[in-house]
Structure 1
Amino acid sequence: MFAGGGGCLCVRVGQNRDMLRGRGTERAALEGLVGAARAGSSRVLVLRGEAGVGKSALLEHAVASGGEMRILRAGGVEPEAGLAFAALHQLLWPVTGLLDALPEPQRDAVRGALGLAAAPPDDARFLLSAGVLSLLTEAAADGGLLCVIDDFQWFDRASADAVLFAARRLRAEGVGLLLAVRDHAGVPVRDLPELRVGGLDEVSAAELLIERAAVAPAAPVLDELVALCGGNPLALGEVAGLLTPEQLTGRAALPDPLPIGAGISELFGRQVDGLPEPARRVLLVAAAEGTGDLGLVLDAAKRLGGDDPDVGPAESAGLVGVAGSSIRFRHPLVRSAVYAAADSGRRRAAHLALADALGGDLDRRAWHRAAASVGRDEEAAAELAASAGRARARGGYADAGAALARAADLTPDLAVRARRLTDAATASWLGGRPGQAETCLARARELADDPRLLAELAQLRGRFELCSGDAAEARRVFTEGAERARESDPGRALEMLADAAEAAGNVGDDEALVEIGRTAASFEGGDPFLRSVLVGIGAILAGDAGRGVPALRSALASADGLDQAARLMWASAAASHLGDIDASARHIIQAGRVARVSGMTGQLPVVLEFVATAERLSGRFTLSAAISDEGLALAREAGYTNSAAAHLANLAVIAAVRGRADDCERHAREALAIAIPHRVGLRASIATYALGLLDLTLGRFAAAHTRFESMVNAGPGAAHPISTWRSSPDRIEAAVGCGEAARPILTAYERWAANALTPQSQALVARCRALLAEDTNEAVAHYQEALRLHASGNGSPFEEARTSLLYGERLRRSHRGGDARGPLRAAMETFQRLGLDPWAARAHDELRASGESVARPEAVALNDLTPQELRIARLVAEGASNREVAARLFLSPRTVEYHLYKIYPKLGVSSRTELARLVAT
């Protein structure tokens, strides 16, 4: 299925000494990386430079520096850039014996991707990538690991994504990862440490020219050659060997243009032209084949006819090297020159001969058949589509998308072409190639006339928009598509209505949600649970609680046994519209757990948006921030722009409640820059709310009131009713603090909370009533009722502490300092435990003003943990093993062990039992 083991085909044969001349800085960087990996730290470095500048020689130097370390090597080869996981197979094959040490979901995903077992679950990209990280960590366990990857720009996308995922998460596993990539290559390595490999310095370049030239160059000629070659060692060496003594000594003019840069390919082309035809034929087939399989190359070259193929003259000329069963080009530009010099007919013939010679290697055969085709060719298209299906089954979505798009180009039948373009759009989107997905989608829509396919295309288009585009446009596409599919595909039509509701919810368009609910009630077929949720939400928003509440409660009654993340998220939405914050959070947190180990891991960034929000509303700010940090990284890797905005907005709220103004403003600004033009009102309103909450946290009540009012008064796409409802207690506090009217806010909040039977919701209503009570005794009664409700439920400790703070402030201002000290002390201790310094300071100041001299309590150690450490500590405290933690957080078990080694001393515990006890407090 894949090209076998060894290193890259396109390697330098000799001349490493020339390439390393004057490379002291680069060698030191590589030796430092190797030494760090040997000592147990992980380092990643990208070597970037033009072809021929010496990147491969530097990689060889790193390998030589590795000594007895375990070395894994791979090199991208252009003909295999569309074969999913071909490069990963090459890199990991020597260590597949370590797979049993991985957590089961990761192990199965890696085995499936490498063709060693059944395919992993659909869209298991993060499980696979985490499995690669775990496998590299296991391979580094005994003395460190050095991974050396050349020509990364030619890695297939599935392999590149998995390697980059691991690279961004390496910390202290003892892995050194080196990636060599050409200048201007479209590979997303910008966020990794990079070393620019430029030309040699003038002295080293001159030394190389003098050493390689037939005669000593004259000084002016030497200076001119150094300047013209730009220090490129390959260009310097080739030019020095080709110039005549007269040209070198200045007695004859230098060629114009000098054969460097693009001219190097022409130079190699002239060398190829001088070879006998049997040798040229071998070179052309080798250039088309790309992986260096000498037996396959000779077999295919023989099939082209003519004299028996002969590689000897090409080897004697130094254009290729033959070692064992491999044929290797001296340099990638040699291969490029050979391929470019052949006309299209000869290239197609070479690919066809390779396809015939490959036999049972169906994936490589399919690509060569496609390269040999002219015009429409259903047989070649079907082979390529089948190859795409195999890639998709292993999780190689981007490569499957490329194969399906090429198969569609070859497909004669318009209906089949539309089907393949649709599949290409889906695979490309899942593979993180939105541009290719949009192109395929547009082409498919021009061809499709089948109603069911048109419905599928509409749903795809809407989902693309919802994830990374205009949420209002997504709602329109879903709604219109659902109506068109109502008769031909009722099940999909209801799904599209649900998608439309999700989009409308993101926009903040309640009128659209009401209409979607009415439409869903008239639909037949599809999922009854989903219909009940849509009908119930629409009715609630229309003010018809008599119809909406029973529908939502009926849906929730069947939610306990749900085991799909998407359905759990709809259950959470139902609970939220009933005002049951606790149930909403419970369903969302369960959805996150399910998504991490299921086939929905590709949608995990979206699920984590709601998990992070649920944890924040429950008062677990540190954990919420840790989840949003993870979700933000995954959203950016997956290309889910709107999900990134959600995580940024949540991080802004958490920074606000902690009083971290710079972080709050930065996160909010980034979220708004995405959410406003994309009309994602839910995220825009949360980012704006964060800025108002920051003002409230810092005691700037008038500024907070102004900010909250701007959030409420903005229209759909910039505001959201849910944010308005949930922010009501904050808005009332800000209004009271600056002397503005707050009674209308309370009236609206009471209407919304009428269906919310949870203690948490009713506690907040009681607190708001207390704030607006003019009579102190009435206020005290409301505060006491609020605290009773807080204590009877499992709500947010932050909100309970705020109630205690406001209660104590009211008592102190009423000259009841003695009574105020109890609630103020409780508030201060809770705020301090949660790491909310501005709130703790406010309670502390109030406590001192009440007449009690008290020092601030010690900070809780949990607040000193990093986001990664906190996530691990929480799961371990819940009883998860290291392997289970690794599976759920897309880490390696050894990384979990490393973090626990740091967590225990930070928290002052020595066992899992002690850790669980501390986390539970």
Structure 2
Amino acid sequence: MLHGRQAEIAAIDELIARAHGGEGGALVLRGEAGAGKTALLDRAASGAGAMRVLEAVGVEAESDLAFAALHQLLRPVTGLLDALPGPQRAAVRGALGLAASGDRFLLGAGVLSLLAEAAAPDGLVCVVDDFQWVDRASADALLFAARRLGTERVALLLTVRGDAPVKGVPSLDVGGLPEEAAAGLLDALAGGTIAAGVRQRLVTLTAGNPLALRETVRRLSPDQLGGREPLPDPLPGGSRLFGERVAALPAPVRRLALLAALEGDLGTVLRASGSAGRPALDELEAAGLAHVTGTSVRFHHPLVRSAVHESATPAARRTAHAELAAATEPQAHDTGAADTAATDREAPDTGAFADRRAWHLAGAALGPDEFVAAELARAAARARDRGGYGAAAVGLARAADLTPAPLTRAGRLKDAAVSAWLGGLPGRAQSLLAEARRHAGGDAALESQIAQLRGRFELNSGDASEAVRILSAGSGAAARSADGLALLADASEAAAYVGDTAALIEIGRRAEAYPEGFLRDAVAGVGAVPAGREDGPGLLRRALARTGELRDAAEFLWASAAASQLGEADLSAELIGRAGRVARVSGMTGQLPVVLEYVATAERIAGRLAESQAVSEEGLELAREAGYVNTVAAHQANLAAVAALRGQEEICRRHAHEALAIALPHRVGLRAGTAAYALGMLDLGLGRFDAAHDRFCALVNAGPGAGHPSVVWRSTPDRIEAAVGAGDLNGARTALEAYERWSAHAATAESRALLARCRALVAPPDGEEAIEGFAEALRSHTNPYEAARTALLLGERLRRAHRPGEARARLRTALETFRQAGAEPWARRAHAELRAAGESAEAPAGSVLDLLTPQELRIAGLVADGLSSKEIAARLFLSPRTVEYHLYKIYPKLGIGTRTELARLVVLRKAP
């Protein structure tokens, strides 16, 4: 019976009931040791009814073993892995030691999908006790899933001691029992023999902690409980709670308890303890301090383990680790434990045993030891290869501590920093890298690698201009090597983020010293074009000719940069789309949040505002999880631009200001410029031409770190429109001259269309030149959204030229496109012009697809592309069941019943 926990029980029951009904969620139970968190989990598991239950316990001895907790939790449902999308299945199998591949984001999505499969048909309750000791790799995957359970029939309950952070999951404090409940518990424990004054004193001194109450009553005599003898002062508690009981154990039992405190596997503990092991284990269980669960020894309470550990001398702990290392052999697992404990392992995971052995060797080490360090480094590499970057970072850092040779130590610290960065620990990565620099000893190759990492870390989370400096200097030290070109490429990317044209030009010049190739030509060309060099476009064209050879997402982003520098925004967007598809389904190693910056921008430029919003919302969440601060600013800036096009003033300003609060101090001019552009587009869409004109002009004058040439170039058609609306024709013509220079080497139809529209805008308003220019642009447009912008301008000119019939046709087309895109200010403007041209009908209701949320619209678009639910789940980091859930919501909204009908609606919406 649980005393005084009605509120906690109600919250847990509500979570489980919602999950059973299809609205999953997670809850953290937070409290001090002994507060009763485990009892609440036990009650949740036993009361789950027909729902399946999965359980795991965080064990401090296993907190450095990658995926130990995940293996424990998911082992009963590994038979469901075949139902997962291929990339997710491979990632989960890798994490569980069943395959050799793994990726952080794919793994989280795979865990989500596997939990969703396990929830069929009646729901699933997952309980994870002592989450503060769950290994980092398992914790990351579980929290990724926990934050995305909204449409799954899954309830996830975690317990945490103290203030251990659990990002993104609501928590419920489990404190001491209320006075009345604590008194009731004492009466039950003492059999009604406790005196009132003693009861009150015990409740006060233990603060109502249930475990403290139980252990205190156990230790007090009947006379003390009855008030006939004084209570001891102080009461036994805190670290002394189990200390006396541990100290009272016979030496062989204390030795076995120490082995169990350092190792979770029962077979290994028994092999290390020798012939005395089984009798000692029986005594430990009889003392009520531990019990056997499956193939593990579990202490009655984590404080028992703490008491065992604290009571042992450092020498005894080192000896125990050495004995466990000797006993940790996979081939001995079944033979050594066959007569002592049942096992449900189909085959030993040799990697897991090697990892355990490495950590025990490290625990036994007295000082630097290369053999032990190498074993630990190999264990860390196995964790990294399975996607356990956090565990890899810990293992490599410990290996570095044990490494005698300074240069080898620096290399391991550098590798630890990489793993920490990929594991979403940017602060830890920075400190590890700083330590690696101190031990690098002038080794040129290692120092160039460290410089590249320092620059990448700075670019993702710090000052982008500092990243340019670090990477440029590092590339000079590694001149003419492969590392040198990679550093130059990263320096060029950083300079592009800042908007530092001078740096781009200099970096491009230095890249020319390297042999011809895709990356060399792209970096050199990106610098040569703004320098006005005649060979710049040729370099970029030569790089783009190699696009068919590209495989990596980063390479496709470089190709998109080449197309963008040529003024071909449509080709750039296409290449960005390819980068996004590659990044989602292959070894992303942390690239995805950054790639999604560009994918979201490309969707917005194409007028697919709902899709752009959904991508940025996903990217924003992933960037926050990964600790990529500057990528957070990028997605905030894009969300501001989407809101601007929709006329959502408050949302636009909020996202823009949040983006600027990061981008300006971090000198990320590309994202600061996008946020400022969003505010200008908000004014332009709402007809505030003077304000829009001022904002666009400010963009032109913003220096590196506050603005960006690419944003200026892309926004010039908007600046020209704002200038014309504000009556500044000279300003519009000046902007056109600059735009003609930027577009001089563009060869795509869309680039020609935009240039024709800009020329038409500055043509005399009362002649045919403007009308013919807009018509020419319309014939060339490949982007439906930009075509609608041109159609609106053409319709306005035709109406003012007293040709209302021709105007109405153009305005109708523009109105429909704007409504489909959700660009409400532009739709209102088109509708007003349509009415002024004699159209009496009300504005059309827009596309039926407007009823869908951004996520639903993305799923609908992928259905139209012919993807299955599994394939869509793999693309969007969802479970297949979540995709089906969304489809079942989509169908009634649209009044359809099949994928074919849905695809037809999407295709019609996309048609120009």
Q: TM-score, normalised by structure 1?
A: 0.92
Task: Select which of 297, 301, 306 maps to 1:336.
Answer: 306
- Alpha-carbon distance change, 817 to 257 in structure 1, aligned in 2, over 3 angstroms: farther
Deviations 1:855-909, CA, capped at 9 Å, x for gaps? 0101212222222212211111011111211121122222211111111222233
- Alpha-carbon distance change, 828 to 701 in structure 1, aligned in 2, over 3 angstroms: same
- Tell whether 2:47 aligns with 1:65: yes
Q: Is the 8 A contact 2:585 2:875 kept in 1?
A: yes
Q: Give the aligned partner of residue 389 of structure 1.
A: 381
Displacement of 1:818: 4.5
- Alpha-carbon distance change, 842 to 645 in structure 1, aligned in 2, over 3 angstroms: same
Displacement of 1:596: 1.2
One-letter code of the match for 1:768? C
Distance 2:565 2:718 in 1: 20
Task: Select which of 272, 276, 281 maps to 1:300.
Answer: 272
Q: Give the aligned partner of residue 325 of structure 2.
A: 355
Unaligned runs of 5+ in 2: 331-352
Deviations 1:295-346, CA, capped at 9 Å, x for gaps? 432332349xx99962444433322234676432111011101101212111
One-letter code of the match for 1:878? D
Q: Give the aligned partner of residue 236 of structure 1.
A: 213
Displacement of 1:229: 2.1
Deviations 1:672-724, CA, capped at 9 Å, x for gaps? 11111111100011011111111111122222222223322221011000111
Displacement of 1:217: 4.4
- Alpha-carbon distance change, 447 to 805 in structure 1, aligned in 2, over 3 angstroms: same
Report the more deviating stretch, 504-513 or 128-137: 128-137
Distance 1:23 1:639 in 2: 37
Q: Secondary structure at the match of 1:184?
A: coil
- Alpha-carbon distance change, 804 to 365 in structure 1, aligned in 2, over 3 angstroms: same
Q: Give the aligned partner of residue 763 of structure 2.
A: 773
- Tell whether 2:549 aligns with 1:549: no
Task: Select which of 518, 521, 524 maps to 1:532.
Answer: 521
- Alpha-carbon distance change, 696 to 324 in structure 1, aligned in 2, over 3 angstroms: closer
Write the mapping of 1:52-131 to structure 2, written as runs, cut at 5 A. 52-117=34-99, 119-120=100-101, 124-131=103-110
Displacement of 1:815: 4.7
- Alpha-carbon distance change, 64 to 815 in structure 1, aligned in 2, over 3 angstroms: same
Q: Give the aligned partner of residue 140 of structure 1.
A: 119
Deviations 1:717-757, CA, capped at 9 Å, x for gaps? 11000111111122222222233333222221121122223
Q: Secondary structure at the match of 2:157?
A: strand
Deviations 1:324-370, CA, capped at 9 Å, x for gaps? 76432111011101101212111111111111111232111111110
Distance 1:40 1:841 in 2: 40
Q: Secondary structure at the match of 1:844?
A: helix
Q: Give the aligned partner of residue 242 of structure 2.
A: 268
- Tell whether 2:457 aligns with 1:464: yes
Write the mapping of 1:294-443 to structure 2, written as runs, cut at 5 A. 294-302=266-274, 310-322=280-292, 326-360=296-330, 361-443=353-435
Deviations 1:100-136, CA, capped at 9 Å, x for gaps? 111211112211221112x116xx2222221111111
Q: Give the aligned partner of residue 746 of structure 2.
A: 756
- Tell whether 2:151 aligns with 1:164: no
Deviations 1:21-53, CA, capped at 9 Å, x for gaps? 121222222223333333333222221111111
Distance 2:549 2:408 in 1: 40
Q: Give the aligned partner of residue 807 of structure 1.
A: 794
Q: Give the aligned partner of residue 733 of structure 1.
A: 721
Task: Select which of 460, 474, 490 maps to 1:499.
Answer: 490
Report the more deviating stretch, 609-618 or 911-920: 911-920
Q: Give the aligned partner of residue 734 of structure 2.
A: 744
- Alpha-carbon distance change, 190 to 428 in structure 1, aligned in 2, over 3 angstroms: closer
Q: Is the 8 A contact 1:675 1:684 kept in 2?
A: yes
Task: Select which of 788, 808, 815 maps to 1:828.
Answer: 815
Distance 1:297 1:817 in 2: 89
Q: Is the 8 A contact 1:382 1:407 kept in 2?
A: yes
- Tell whether 2:651 aligns with 1:669: no
- Alpha-carbon distance change, 323 to 466 in structure 1, aligned in 2, over 3 angstroms: closer
- Alpha-carbon distance change, 367 to 825 in structure 1, aligned in 2, over 3 angstroms: same
One-letter code of the match for 1:380? V
Unaligned runs of 5+ in 1: 1-16
Q: Give the aligned partner of residue 652 of structure 1.
A: 640
- Tell whether 2:184 aligns with 1:207: yes
Deviations 1:779-803, CA, capped at 9 Å, x for gaps? x4334333333333412x2222222
Distance 1:881 1:809 in 2: 44
Report the more deviating stretch, 828-837 or 872-881: 828-837
Distance 2:222 2:509 in 1: 89
Report the more deviating stretch, 425-434 or 846-855: 846-855
Deviations 1:184-239, CA, capped at 9 Å, x for gaps? 11x4x231132222221121011112332477444444334323322211112222
Task: Report the count of equivalent residues.
Answer: 883
One-letter code of the match for 1:761? S
Q: Secondary structure at the match of 2:120?
A: coil
- Tell whether 2:19 aligns with 1:44: no
Write the mapping of 1:179-218 to structure 2, written as runs, cut at 5 A. 179-185=158-164, 187=165, 189-213=166-190, 216-218=193-195
Distance 1:712 1:248 in 2: 82
Deviations 1:544-580, CA, capped at 9 Å, x for gaps? 2x21111111111221342221111111111111111
Q: Give the aligned partner of residue 841 of structure 1.
A: 828
Q: Is the 8 A contact 1:276 1:313 kept in 2?
A: no
- Alpha-carbon distance change, 561 to 375 in structure 1, aligned in 2, over 3 angstroms: closer
Q: Secondary structure at the match of 2:873?
A: helix
Q: Secondary structure at the match of 1:371?
A: helix
Distance 2:600 2:889 in 1: 24
Aligned residues: percent identity?
A: 60
Q: Is the 8 A contact 1:214 1:240 kept in 2?
A: no
Write the mapping of 1:451-600 to structure 2, written as runs, cut at 5 A. 451-487=444-480, 490-523=481-514, 525=515, 528-544=517-533, 546-600=534-588
Task: Select which of 586, 590, 598 maps to 1:610.
Answer: 598
Distance 1:396 1:442 in 2: 22
Distance 2:296 2:589 in 1: 40
Q: Is the 8 A contact 1:31 1:62 kept in 2?
A: yes
Q: Please, what is the CA RMSD of the aligned residues? A: 2.1
Distance 1:562 1:327 in 2: 52
Q: TM-score, normalised by structure 2?
A: 0.93
Q: Is the 8 A contact 2:816 2:846 kept in 1?
A: no
Displacement of 1:281: 1.6
